[in-house]
Amino acid sequence: MLGKDIQQSELVSYGSLEEFIAAVHPLRPIRTMVDQALKQTSTRFDEIYGEEGRRSSPPERLLRASLLQMLYSVRSGRMLMEQIECNLLFRGFVVLSVTEPLWRPDSFHQESGPFIARCRG
């Protein structure tokens, strides 16, 4: 019997993004270690970023995304954004909900990223 090509246009999910990631996936313990390290640096982030102006992309998320880029050998910031947009594993690691919009790809360029420039000095 021929199966039907049923096309679903909406994605409906009730539950946590964590439920879609295997319990034994290697990124789970890595994320735990990364989260602990980022908690220790959160006061430094507060010192670097001012109170005025446009809100930046959270540096913790940018650092988690950069780590994914290195671990998975993603060639560019644009390609990384595409992967985070489509991959629930990447979204879960970076701590983005399924509906939350991504930041701009140029957040990863050294010339335009205020986080990178300030951390060098």
Q: Does the pLDDT value for residue 90 go beyond 90?
A: yes
Is 18 part of any domain?
no
The pLDDT value given to residue 109: 56
The pLDDT value given to residue 19: 83
Helices 59-71 and 77-86: crossing angle, nearest 10°? 100
* C-alpha to C-alpha distance for 28 and 9, rounded to whole angstroms: 30
Is 17 part of any domain?
no
Percent of the chain surpassing pLDDT 90: 31
Is 11 part of any domain?
no
Residue pLDDT, tens place only, 35-79: 999 998 888 877 777 777 667 778 899 899 999 999 999 998 888
What's the pTM value of the predicted model, to 2 decimals? 0.74
Q: Does the pLDDT value for residue 29 go beyond 80?
A: yes
Q: Give residue 87's domain range.
A: 26-47+58-120
Is 71 part of any domain?
yes
Is 86 part of any domain?
yes
Is 52 part of any domain?
no
Is 7 part of any domain?
no
SS3 sequence of the chain: CCCCCCCCCCCCCCCCHHHHCCCCCCHHHHHHHHHHHHHHHHHHHHHHCCCCCCCCCCHHHHHHHHHHHHHCCCCCHHHHHHHHHHCHHHHHHHCCCCCCCCCCHHHHCCCCCHHHHHHHC
Structural domains counted in the chain: 1
